[in-house]
């Protein structure tokens, strides 16, 4: 009997401890179990947050790529609209005329309004 308790050292240690220390070991194991469960829940929460942030980043990258392509297309359209050939056709459509001579209006400093 004595030899079997020595082979199971943790059991022999618990039997040899006083009642107050055994209670402290029970409290220790309960607190340890609560700590493990809390850390596991925290790990799951962190993993979930990391996954959702990764998903948001990927969506943002896709939107950035889409906006970049759209921006390039708009720049190409702007260049086409501001081309010299396009401006000449707009001048013809609006019936603008080429200015031959510029006439300036001279206002004297002593006169404000003249009829």
Spatial contact of 12 and 5, defined as CB atoms under 8 Å apart? yes
Domain boundaries, the chain: 2-93
Query: CA 74, CA 66: separation in Å to the nearest integer?
Result: 12
Query: CA 100, CA 106: separation in Å to the nearest integer?
Result: 19
Q: Which residues of the chain have a pLDDT value below 70?
A: 1-23, 110-115
Query: CA 60, CA 54: separation in Å to the nearest integer?
Result: 10
* Model confidence, pTM: 0.47
pLDDT of residue 87: 78
Tokens read off for 73: 């297309």
pLDDT of residue 80: 82
């Amino acid at each position: 009997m004595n030899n079997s308790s020595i082979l199971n050292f943790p059991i022999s240690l618990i039997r040899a401890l006083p009642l107050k220390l055994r209670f402290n070991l029970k409290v220790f194991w309960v607190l340890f179990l609560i700590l493990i469960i809390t850390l596991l829940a925290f790990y799951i929460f962190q993993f979930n947050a990391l996954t959702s942030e990764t998903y948001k980043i990927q969506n943002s990258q896709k939107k950035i790529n889409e906006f970049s392509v759209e921006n390039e297309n708009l720049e190409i359209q702007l260049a086409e609209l501001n081309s010299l050939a396009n401006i000449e056709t707009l001048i013809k459509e609006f019936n603008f005329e080429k200015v031959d001579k510029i006439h300036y209006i001279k206002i004297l400093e002593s006169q404000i309004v003249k009829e």
